[in-house]
């Protein structure tokens, strides 16, 4: 069994220490960081989701799998950072109000940070007011929102409305993501960008700061 398969099994089984060890080993073997990420860490979470849906796995197991994946992510995190460069811009990121899913948000944050942005991560269950406050305090150009539940997607709309009310929408660009989110939804709520994955998030972030700079 290849090391990436072993990582899949260990995440699904929630074997946190093993995931950490295998991530280190995979790096030592010279496997690309992006491959370790997509095939070793992200792929098993899809399987976990499917098994949850079919009733094979329960919430505690889903939490432990998430924690195991995060251990691997933490090892890759420093490798995404470029050092000593002036930030391209500042992004405030968070999982929207009512939503506790952190993994996709943290991954997007890590990759955008790696592309040279200053990231202000507000964590999970972030209210529209908290987003607005942080954008003001940080002078951010970008706001990243994550939602994994169809029931919390409206919090994205509420956040965009709160930014508008605070008179910030001409200064900041918004990017939304998360499994149930679509381009169509982004258009509907007036988000400036939609990213189906973290890599697209990086691309959008770069594009949108350029749009702002060109003004």
* Closest CB to ligand B12: residue number: 104
- Tell me whether residue 30 or residue 63 sits nearer to ligand B12 (CB atom): 63
SS3 sequence of 36-80: HHHHHHHHHHHHHHHHHHCCCCCHHHHHHHHHHHHHHHHHHHHHH
Span from 18-26, 101-109, 132-140, 161-169 in contact with ligand B12 (CB under 6 A): 101-109
How far, in Å, CA of 155 to CA of 121, rounded?
17
Query: From the CB of 97, what's the least distance to ligand B12, in Å?
Result: 10
Span from 28-36, 183-191, 195-203, 207-215 in contact with ligand B12 (CB under 6 A): 195-203
Q: Report residue 141 as tokens.
A: 């150009």
Instruction: Decide if residue 12 touches ligand B12 (CB under 6 A).
Output: no
Query: From the CB of 140, what's the least distance to ligand B12, in Å?
Result: 13
β-strand 173-177 against 118-121: which pairing, if any?
unpaired
| The binder of ligand B12 chosen from 16, 75, 92, 99 (CB under 6 A) | 99
Instruction: Decide if residue 36 touches ligand B12 (CB under 6 A).
Output: no
Instruction: Decide if residue 122 touches ligand B12 (CB under 6 A).
Output: no
Whether residue 101 contacts residue 148, with contact meaning beta carbons closer than 8 Å, is answered with yes
Instruction: Decide if residue 52 touches ligand B12 (CB under 6 A).
Output: yes
How far, in Å, CA of 146 to CA of 175, rounded?
9
| The binder of ligand B12 chosen from 24, 79, 100, 182 (CB under 6 A) | 100
Residue 202 class from Cβ within 10 Å (0-12 exposed, 13-18 middle, 19+ buried)?
buried
Instruction: Decide if residue 195 touches ligand B12 (CB under 6 A).
Output: yes
Q: How many angstroms separate the Cα of 205 from the Cα of each of 29, 67, 84, 142, 166?
A: 32, 27, 20, 7, 22
Sites of contact with ligand B12 (CB under 6 A): 42, 45-46, 48-49, 52-53, 59, 62-63, 66, 93, 98-105, 107-108, 144-146, 148-150, 175, 177-180, 195, 197-198, 201
């Amino acid at each position: 069994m290849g090391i990436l398969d072993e990582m899949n099994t260990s995440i699904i089984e929630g074997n946190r220490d093993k995931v950490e060890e295998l991530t280190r080993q995979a790096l030592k073997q010279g496997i690309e960081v992006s491959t370790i990420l997509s095939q070793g860490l992200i792929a098993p979470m899809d399987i976990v989701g499917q098994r949850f849906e079919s009733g094979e796995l329960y919430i505690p197991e889903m939490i432990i799998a998430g924690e195991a994946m995060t251990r691997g992510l933490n090892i890759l995190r420093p490798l995404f950072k470029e050092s000593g460069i002036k930030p391209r811009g500042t992004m405030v990121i968070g999982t929207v109000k009512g939503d506790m899913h952190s993994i996709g948000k943290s991954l997007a944050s890590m990759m955008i940070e790696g592309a040279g942005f200053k990231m202000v991560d507000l964590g999970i269950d972030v209210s529209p007011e908290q987003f607005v406050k942080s954008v003001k305090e940080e002078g951010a150009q970008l706001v990243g929102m994550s939602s994994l539940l169809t029931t919390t997607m409206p919090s994205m709309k509420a956040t965009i409305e709160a930014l508008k009310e605070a008179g910030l929408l001409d200064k900041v660009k918004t990017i939304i993501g998360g499994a149930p989110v679509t381009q169509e939804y982004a258009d509907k709520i007036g988000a400036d960008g939609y990213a189906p994955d973290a890599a697209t998030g990086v691309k959008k972030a770069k594009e949108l700061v350029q749009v702002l700079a060109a003004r």
